[in-house]
Amino acid sequence: MKRYETLIYSTVGVVALLIILVLANFVLAAFKQRVDFTEGGLYTVSQGTRSIIEKLDAPVKIRFYYTQSEQNVPLPIKGFARRVEDLLGAFKSASGGKVVIEKLDPQPDSDAEDSATLEGVEAQVMQSGDKFYLGLSISYADQKLALPALSMDREQLLEYDLARAIARATRTDKPVIGVMSPMPLFGSRGIPQMGVPPADKQVLVSELERDFTVRRVAADATSIDDSIKVLLVVNPRGMSDETEYALDQYVVRGGKMIAMLDPYAYFDVPPGAQQGGTTSTFDHMLKAWGLTMDTTKVVQDMKFLSGAGARQMSTVLSFNSEAFNKDDVSTSKLGFTMFPIVGAFTGTPAAGLKQTVLIRSSTFSQLTDSSNAVTQGEASVRGFKPSGTEYPIAIRLSGKFKSAFPDGVPVAKDKPAAKPPAKAAGKADAKAEPVKPIPAHVAEGKDENSVVLIADSDFINDGAAVNIQEIFGQRIVVPANSNLSFAQALIEQFAGDPALIELRTRAIAARPFTVIREMEAQAAQAYVGKLKELEDSLQKTQERLQSLQKSSMPGAGTILTAEQQKEVEAFRKNAAETRRELKLVRRDLRADSEALQFWTKVVNIGLLPLLVALFGIGLGMQRRRKVVTI
Amino acid sequence: MMGTWPVINTIAKRELSAYFESPVAYVFLVVFLLLAGFFTFSLGGFFELGEASLNSFFTWMPWLFLFLVPAVGMRLWSEERRLGTIELLLTMPVTTWQAIIAKFLASWAFLAIALALTFPVVITVNWLGDPDNGVIIAGYVGSWLLAGTFLSIACLTSALTRNQVIAFILSLMLCLLLILVGFAPVTTMLSRFADIWLVDTIASFSVLTHFEGFQKGVLDTRDLLFFFSVMAFSLFTTGVVLRSHRAG
């Protein structure tokens, strides 16, 4: 009897424990704590967010709209929604009560749904046709904004999006950013008659409009208004002296300019042209500042090249942290960036100006003619000789700027007016700067100022910087790299909210195998010369062969002399040899890197098991010997 | 009666060194390391991913442990039951609980050694690039907890039967169940038949769900609580089973 009682008691005990543990797990989930071990603190609220939250004078109310009880929401989205809630919780605890979170479930036809619509939170539509809500609205005092549709693809930027929304909601003024470019960055309807396709508004412009007042500056402006805090000049092709004077004076008066010049603007297809590749530079200003950017040359870099094999492009540069300035806020924590076809700044800054290089090429680089800009594969690297120079691609000049036009306003020369493509794009005039009288000439800046110069305008283009996807009926923009982060960091550095800079660049971090990449770069560099030699020799041999055969067949049926036949044979043999050598060299190119991968695998898979086995056998033998001697 | 901890300590140490006297332990270590390496580099596409991280290594851990941990745990109690040495063990001034915990800790320590021996892959990935070492540490902690969880289940099944093979199969099935209820293809399929909240709840019983946080680099108390709960439950039930056998 006792036996049975004990047994029942114990079984009951087991079941009871099970129930207790299950309940404990569910209940204690509310008191969860997390420790974030990631190097970037990817899952905790960063210092930047904290500093934004600390500046709050009044509470910020965040309404989290999530259709929790919707049956058909895919499980990964549910997991994502959980993580969003986790992050909101982290914001709340970092704020000490200043951030208040309210959670709502917008069921169809409920008050919550009406509230969502009112506040700008949008439904996301699934394939089944059902819709769900996953968005936020942020209110502070009388300001209200929304993150209408949160997407998993942007999960890494969630903290940034949220912190930025809070910063925006609490900001009383929005600095003015001017954008000057002949390219249709603001979007355009296009001109079908002239074969100009319509263009979408560039993502960079849309992103800037969320934080700043963005004003369009005419590409032929003759003066820049001082209310513009930061001026972005993008590929100012065909710029007149008058306009360059306007920029010069803007800088001398203390305006902050970020200029993107380009020896080969891949994405700039002027009306009537078939393809891109325009150039832009500052004729006067660069010279006055002691610098040059050769508009006929682009940078080829064997370390930072993109693509592989036949699709390899050594002029499209994928920069990783080794190319960036580690000490500057705008570049210190950048992930990787992609700059398609860039120039380089050479020269020494003029007296009184200091140059800080933000992005530079590797020493395995050279300047090549811009006609070589879009060649792919081996053909593009024939004759490559590393310059040993780290070419500055993006720089900041600081100091007291002197006007590049010592004689004042340039007299309008009788040049054929370059058609301002801003007008051709259609929408320009409505938003362009109204013509103002030119202010008095200033010869030298009173205070220290800074200018950022970048030898590429393509990197901010949608084609290089983002991937745009349609998910659940929403247009989701996902950064493909840190390009936009970099541009925005520069702008914000000048416009003044440093906290957001740290946040943004944290989010995107690629960690490649740098050792392998370097190996391949070095190998390519070592073999490129040999390859060229062999290919040249092969070509010559083939030409000689052809000419021999031609010369010996002026008409049909002519027979070669014995000597000529011998020559032809010799040449054929030579050609075959050379081709074989070429194959070997191409194979050797990858040999080092492949050997590394092979031996890494061998060591990692086999070494320790082997050691353990040997140790075990050794121990076993030792023991046996002991037993025997006893 | 001696204090609890020194008793456990003594037994555990004895068990652990006993491991290394038998060739089985070495075979296990060699197989574990070979498979871990093979899964990471060949199947896991370590180089193909192009990323300096141990993602491909940790992704395979649950599946690797699924087969290997029951193999370690199966002999824990069924061997003793078969040889009849349990009675001997339990007549000593040792409580059932102390014995259970001691044996469990010894085996868990052995699994920790196995995990530690994978260190070359950490050195390799740090040499090849600049990985996030915090994530790697979290991954190892999670792997060790996962191993402990499976081990506790293996303890239970080995106490239920004299036959090691049956113990192995039983624990394999239970561990597999714990994996599958949170395995993406399975949850997607289940969600077609059952309510989402139900599938969700079931998935929260899965080791995969709770291992995910560690793989990302986050130590979450919910995940810790889950793993320790399973271990506590399994070990308690082991005790109940052993006591009932002893009584009978």
The interface predicted TM-score of the complex, written ipTM, equals 0.84
B28/B106 Cα distance (integer angstroms): 15
Q: Where are the beta strands (DSSP E) in B71-227?
A: 218-220
pLDDT at B128 over 90: no
Please indicate whether, in this complex, the C-beta atoms of A14 and B226 are within 8 angstroms of each other.
no
Q: Tally Cβ neighbours within 10 Å of residue B147.
A: 25
Q: Which pLDDT band, with edges at 50, 70 and 90, does B224 fall under? A: very high
Please indicate whether, in this complex, the C-beta atoms of B118 and A608 are within 8 angstroms of each other.
yes
- Calculate the alpha carbon distances from A298 to A294, A370, A518 in Å: 8, 5, 22
pLDDT at A422: 42
Please indicate whether, in this complex, the C-beta atoms of A514 and B225 are within 8 angstroms of each other.
no
Across A146-160, A389-403, B218-232, least confident range? A146-160
Q: Residues 143-172, chain B: which have Cβ within 8 Å of A?
A: none
Q: Residues 578-607, chain A: which have Cβ within 8 Å of B?
A: 597, 600-601, 603-607
Nearest CA in chain B to A76: B184
Q: Average model confidence (pLDDT) for chain A?
A: 81
SS3 category, A65 = strand
pLDDT at A419: 42
pLDDT at A503 over 70: no
Find, among A599, A407, A170, the residue nearest to B127 by Cα: A599
Q: Is B59 in the A-facing interface, judged by CB distances under 8 Å?
A: no
pLDDT at A71 over 60: yes
pTM of the model: 0.59
A408/A44 Cα distance (integer angstroms): 54
In chain A, residues with a C-beta closer than 8 Å to the C-beta of B53 are 511
Q: Which residue has the tokens 């004078």?
A: A57
Phi and psi torsions of A98, nearest 5°: -80, -20
Please tell me which of the candidates B51, B137, B191 has its beta carbon nearest to residue A512: B51
pLDDT at A428: 43
- The H or E element spanning position A377 is none
SS3 category, B51 = coil
Kindly report, residue by residue over A541-561, the tens digit of the pLDDT.
777 777 777 765 555 455 667
Kindly report, residue by residue over A318-371, the tens digit of the pLDDT.
998 889 987 776 787 677 899 999 999 999 999 889 999 999 999 889 999 888
- The H or E element spanning position A146 is strand A143-147
In chain B, residues with a C-beta closer than 8 Å to the C-beta of A604 are 37, 40-41, 120-121, 124
pLDDT at A156: 67
- The H or E element spanning position A570 is helix A562-602
Please indicate whether, in this complex, the C-beta atoms of B219 and A609 are within 8 angstroms of each other.
no
Kindly report, residue by residue over B144-194, the tens digit of the pLDDT.
999 999 999 999 999 888 888 999 999 999 999 999 988 878 877 787 787
A390/A304 Cα distance (integer angstroms): 12
Q: Which pLDDT band, with edges at 50, 70 and 90, does A7 fall under? A: low
Please tell me which of the candidates B41, B132, B187 has its beta carbon nearest to residue A75: B187
Q: Give A184-187's long-range contacts (Cβ < 8 A, gap of 24+).
A: A184/A421, A184/A425, A185/A234, A186/A216, A186/A427, A186/A431, A187/A427
Across A61-70, A594-603, B82-91, B143-152, least confident range? B82-91
Percent of chain B clearing pLDDT 70 (strictly above): 94
Question: Which structure tokens are listed for A138?
Answer: 């942020």
Q: Residues 484-513, chain A: which have Cβ within 8 Å of B?
A: 510-513
The dihedral of CA B189, B194, B200, B202: what is its sign?
A: negative
Q: In angstroms, what separates the C-alpha of A370 from chain B's closest C-alpha?
A: 31
